[in-house]
């Protein structure tokens, strides 16, 4: 049995491929990770399990459980970040020796513009 020239070239390419092709580099993905409490991390795991279960079954009950876990997780994260922000702001001062950290934090805060309290004040004043 003789091989055609095209078959021979394919065999040559196939045998040389592993040596000539560069190995793929491992990607190192750096994730910005906040230090969340264990309760939030456990809730994330639970939510992921519920999500995969819902993807497998597509039952409405599973979707309801997923939605409930998602809402609870969102509330937990919001509460945690709020308490962290309050803790950070409570340690700031407006003194010269701390380089006026309170004023700088207030000035750079993006949340002040979107806060509904300021909108209400602005609306009531005119």
Say what the pLDDT of residue 20 is: 65
Say what the pLDDT of residue 58 is: 96
The span from the CA of 116 to the CA of 76, in Å, is 21
Tell me the CB-side half-sphere exposure of residue 100, using CA atoms within 13 A. Answer: 5
Say what the pLDDT of residue 75 is: 97
Say what the pLDDT of residue 92 is: 75
Cα–Cα distances in Å, from 15 out to 3, 4, 8, 12? 16, 17, 11, 5
Tens-digit pLDDT string for the chain (126 aa): 565 666 666 676 666 666 666 777 777 666 556 689 999 999 999 999 999 999 999 999 999 999 999 999 999 999 998 898 888 778 777 777 666 677 777 776 655 555 544 455 555 555
Say what the pLDDT of residue 77 is: 94
Threshold 0.75, pTM exceeds: no
Say what the pLDDT of residue 18 is: 63
Say what the pLDDT of residue 34 is: 65
Say what the pLDDT of residue 46 is: 98
Q: DSSP H helical segments within 25-109, as ranges? A: 38-57, 60-90, 101-108
């Amino acid at each position: 049995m003789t091989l055609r020239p095209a078959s021979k070239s394919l065999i040559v390419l196939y045998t040389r491929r592993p040596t000539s092709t560069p190995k793929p580099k491992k990607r190192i993905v750096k994730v910005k990770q906040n230090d969340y409490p264990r309760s939030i991390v456990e809730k994330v795991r639970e939510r992921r399990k519920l999500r995969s279960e819902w993807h497998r079954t597509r039952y409405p009950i599973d979707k309801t459980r997923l939605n409930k876990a998602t809402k609870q997780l969102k509330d937990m994260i919001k509460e945690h970040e709020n308490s962290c922000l309050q803790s950070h702001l409570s340690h700031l001062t407006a003194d010269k020796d701390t380089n006026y950290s309170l004023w700088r934090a207030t000035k750079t805060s993006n949340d002040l513009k979107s806060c509904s309290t300021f909108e209400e004040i602005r609306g009531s004043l005119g």
